[in-house]
Structure 1
Amino acid sequence: MTWSSDKIIFPILESSLLELADDAFQRRVWLGYSKTEMSSMTEATAGLFDDSNLDWALEKQQVVFSPDIDNELRKLGKKLSRSLTLEEKVGLEAVLDSAEWKEIQNTAGRILSEINKLR
C-alpha cells in the first residue's frame, strides 16, 4: 500500500464494503424491517467514499491500494451513484432486485477481499 492509504480510515472502509456486499443486511435494514439497526444505501456509499477518506485518496490520482483495486473502486463509485439516482426513480427494493446491484454486491465483497490481502 502507498502513502495515501495511511490516510484512509480502514474500519469505516471495511464496514462500508461489508454492508454493500451483504444482501440480507440491506434487505433487513435498508428496507426498514429492523427495529434496532439503521442505515441506507446513501449512508453506506458516504461511509465508503467520504467518511473513510477514500474519495480524497482516489482523487489524488496516486496509487492507493493497487492500480487494479483503485480502478475497481472508481467503477464501484460510478455504479453506486447510478443506483442512488435510480433509487429515487424506481424505489430501493427495485434497485436491490436489479442485476447491476448484484454486481455491486459482488464487487464490494471482492474489493474488500483484495484489500485485506494487502494488509
Structure 2
Amino acid sequence: MNIEVLREGLLELSDEAFQRRVWTNSGGDDVMSSLEECLCSIFDDSGLTYALDKGDVGSDDDLAASLRRLDSITAAIDQRAPVEQLLDDPALRRAREEAAHTLRLLDESAG
C-alpha cells in the first residue's frame, strides 16, 4: 500500500474548504479535482482496495477498522449528485470526519 498517496487522498477528503474551492473550480488556482478523483486516489492509486480485499491493511487494528469504515461510508455517497449538493451531503460529512480520524491514526502509526 502506498501510504503517501493514501495520506494525500485522506487530506483532500477531510478538508471541506479545499473541496469547495477545488471541486467547484471556484478558487482561481490551477488545481482541479473531484470526489471521484479523490476516492480513486485513496482506494485505487494507494492500493487500499487490494489491501482491504486481502485483509492486509497493517497491524494497527484501529487504523484497519477506520479504513474499513471509510470504505463503507464512501460507498453510500451519491457521486452522481451535482457538486454543490454533494458538498452538503450528510454521507460526505461522515466521510470527512472518518477521513480526518483515519489520517490521525495513520500519522500516529507512522510516528
Amino acid at match of 1:77: D
Amino acid at match of 2:2: I
Q: Partners in 1 of 2:57 and 2:34 — Cα distance?
A: 29
> What is the aligned partner in structure 2 of residue 17 from structure 1?
10
Structure 2 gaps of 5+ residues are none
Alignment of 1:24-103 (within 5 A): 24-35=17-28, 36-83=30-77, 86-88=78-80, 90-103=81-94
Q: Partners in 2 of 1:98 and 1:42 — Cα distance?
A: 15
Q: Partners in 2 of 1:77 and 1:53 — Cα distance?
A: 13
For the aligned residues, what is the CA RMSD?
Answer: 1.5
> TM-score scaled by structure 2?
0.87
> TM-score scaled by structure 1?
0.82
Structure 1 gaps of 5+ residues are 1-7
Report sequence identity in percent: 32
Amino acid at match of 2:105: E
> What is the aligned partner in structure 1 of residue 102 from structure 2?
111
Q: CA deviation at 1:62?
A: 3.3
Between the two proteins, the alignment pairs up a number of residues equal to 109
Q: Which has the higher helix share?
A: 1
